[in-house]
Amino acid sequence: MSKNLSLIVLIAYCALSCKSPEARMPESVQSGSFLKESAERNRKLNQKETARIQKIINNNPEHTYIASESGFWYYYNTKVETDTIQPQFGDLVDFDFNVSDLNGNEIYASINKTYVMDKEELFTGLREGLKLMKPDEQVTFIFPSQKAFGYYGDDNKIGTNIPLICEVTLNTITQKND
């Protein structure tokens, strides 16, 4: 009988211990206020940067600034009317550029870069700006910080939330072969 009792206790123990896990309640409930506050900070930062950029544009009436659909401004130093080729996805472009802050302080000077369009790392504004250019054109771009290096900077000379002015010369476009 003790064997039967031991067997019944063992079966009962096994049956009762096979319980599905219960969900734990969170220790604290967040209301999403962090995201709302972050969005508000970014809105204010964008308004502040746009006002500074607009002041630069107003102080330089000799240039015809164009507002891009992507959220930056630019003007042509040298415009090419005859060539119709513009960089496309996968094309190899060779370009030179200078980077300065909105006060005109040079950050990087005379950088030559070869870049495969949309397949390599390049900050958003410059990548989008190159798509607007033709070979032998020189364009000056003004990028708000979210189109430049944003919150993180470049871990070198460009800090957090720094709007940039980039003078870019597109030297060549080598189209990809499909």
- CATH number, domain of 143, equals 3.10.50.40
pLDDT at 12 (0 to 100): 67
Q: What is the pTM for the complete model shown?
A: 0.78
Nearest to 104 by CA among 167, 46, 153: 167
Does residue 127 fall inside a structural domain?
Answer: yes
Mean pLDDT, the chain cut into blocks of 10 residues (178 residues total)? 70 65 68 81 92 94 93 94 87 95 92 91 92 94 93 86 94 84
Number of domains in the chain: 1
* pLDDT attached to residue 18: 62
Tokens 């709302």 appear where? Answer: 36
Any domain includes 139: yes
Range of the domain at 82: 68-174
Q: Is residue 9 part of a domain?
A: no
The strand pair at 106-116 and 138-143 is best described as: unpaired
Residue 57 within any structural domain of the chain: no
Give the pLDDT of residue 35. 82
Q: What are the angstrom distances between the C-alpha of 71 and each of 27, 43, 46? A: 41, 14, 10
Does residue 140 fall inside a structural domain?
yes
pLDDT at residue 137, rounded to an integer? 94
- The confidence score (pLDDT) of residue 13 equals 66
For residue 16, the model assigns a pLDDT of 62
